[in-house]
Homo-oligomer: A and B are copies of this chain.
């Protein structure tokens, strides 16, 4: 059996999210319910008919391109969930480093805004802002929700950290969030609770920084908690 080997696909739109870079993106969709995003469909797909009936779904599948990573020909990866030491086949993981840099996330559909370019507002996002979107499909529970499925490598969500604000950081956040249309504090906490340090870092004295919607959060991480030290 021979079929064509190469396929040219084009984006239908782009997603805007709080994540300015790969750093701090939750490791899976829906881990940070407060992480919101807006899929903006390109002109060619902004005819309102393309999304007619979409609000009959509570959740959608979004197929996208890992555009910051690109294609990888390495057969194995080292998932953070396995401590970063064990090698596993790329097709046994959701790693971003894969032969076709295709991502797949199930997101909660919040609302659809028509007029001009169609906006699809979603939450629980795990995509870098600017990610090109290839397709949107409804989540169909009787097909997609597999009651008896198991996955040996990760049967539970990753553990989350407690989030603590210093008084200074809280004051700084309130000053900035009053001026900007920012992700709310709950969203920020859900994102930082995922332990957004680069893999394998373990230095309690080090101050890390992460940019969310252009706002820089400085934080430290101890055994069980992340402490937000400052917001600028």
Contact = CB atoms under 8 A, between A and B. Distances in A.
Interface of A: 1, 3-12, 14, 16, 28-31, 42, 44-45, 47-54, 56-61, 63, 65, 67, 73, 75-76, 87-94, 98-100, 102, 104, 106, 129-132, 134-157
Given A75-B47, A152-B57, A153-B53, A135 B98 contact: yes
Contacts of A131: 3
A214 B65 CA distance: 37
B5 A6 contact: no
B138 A94 contact: yes
Nearest to A139: B149
30 contacts: A1-B14, A1-B16, A3-B11, A3-B131, A4-B67, A5-B10, A5-B11, A5-B132, A7-B132, A9-B9, A9-B102, A12-B100, A28-B140, A31-B143, A44-B73, A47-B75, A49-B89, A50-B90, A51-B91, A52-B76, A52-B92, A53-B89, A57-B92, A58-B149, A58-B150, A63-B63, A104-B137, A106-B146, A141-B146, A145-B146
Contact of A153 (B12, B28, B138): B138
A130 B54 contact: no
Contact of A49 (B49, B57, B76): B76
